Amino acid sequence: MRRYLSVGLALALLCTGTAAQQDSLKFAVLGDAGDGSREQYDIGRQMAAARSTFPFEFVLALGDNMYGRQQREDFVTKFQKPYEPLLQAGVRFFGALGNHDDPKQRFYPGFNMGGERFYSFVRQQVRFVVLDTNVLDSKQLAWAESTLRDAREPWKIAYFHHPLYSNGGRHGSSVELRVVLEPVLVRYGVSVVFAGHEHIYERLTPQKGITHFVEGSGGRLRKGDLERAETTAAGFDQDQTFMLVEISGDQMSFRTISRTGATVDSGVIGRRITS
């Protein structure tokens, strides 16, 4: 029978050995969240509670940041209200566009996209590259290649909506996208990829040296949809989830926490060392 840790114990373990280091970087990861449901608000409360002992600076929003109507009032009920304590504390969300998102979301200040479909930002020793996998055209691919090639940060993390690898029953792996994008990620030393789209949580076994996470159950959930395979390192499809991540030196620690505060996955990943 599976045993899950309480959120308090999970955070204590996550912080062990690294939280006291001043150069560590802490952030959260959330995908497929913006439906205004009770479950989304529950996740928001769990994130706020987690931050009291694990003070993450920002959130990676993996797309489908908003479902259905996307008028001014919807940004209140489907984003500002669920995460109000975080926003009031200065936590910033950095959005990627999903297939349910109006492309005009890139102009919404709360998603910090600067009006761009794809963009990059740096925090401490980490280069984050954010892509729009709804339309991965030659211009965007060339931009991604040049951005990663020129990056001097030791850590390179890419995130976008559609997973290159997934054992979710609804969609599965985005193979056509993988054929085009994966060689660039491998060539230029990306260590970790975060994606959503599948309304489950899954951590894949490393693929060509890259660890892939599917974190698409921040609001929506497709219960029982994970079809475990040899490439599934860990997974959870029984409740909504989010992730807490800390990078210190060459190690990335992570914990995946459910809507009820249980830790359903955790571990440590080493940075890819490329020549």
Q: What is the pLDDT of residue 22?
A: 57
In a domain, 1, yes or no: no
pLDDT of residue 23: 76
Tokens of residue 132, six digits: 């729009």
261: in domain? yes
Q: Is residue 2 part of a domain?
A: no
Examine residue 78 and state whether it is found in any structural domain, yes or no: yes
The DSSP code sequence of 79-104 is: IITTTHHHHHTTPEEEE---TTS-GG
Please report whether residue 52 resides in a domain.
yes
Which percentage of the chain shows pLDDT scores above 90? 89
Query: Is 250 contained in some domain?
Result: yes
Q: Name the burial class of residue 72, with classes exposed (0-12), middle (13-18) and buried (19+) by CB atoms within 10 angstroms of its CB.
A: exposed
The pLDDT value recorded for residue 10 is: 46
Evaluate whether residue 260 is within a structural domain.
yes
Number of structural domains (the chain) is: 1
pLDDT in tens, 123-151: 999 999 999 999 999 999 999 999 999 99
Instruction: Count CA atoms closer than 13 A to 205's CA, side-chain side.
Output: 6
Its pTM surpasses 0.85: yes
CA distance 269 to 211: 8
The answer to whether position 166 is within a domain reads: yes
Strands (E), 139-219: 155-159, 192-195, 201-204, 211-215
Report the CATH number at residue 98.
3.60.21.10
Structural domain that includes position 121:
7-270
- Residue 268 to residue 245: CA distance in whole angstroms: 10
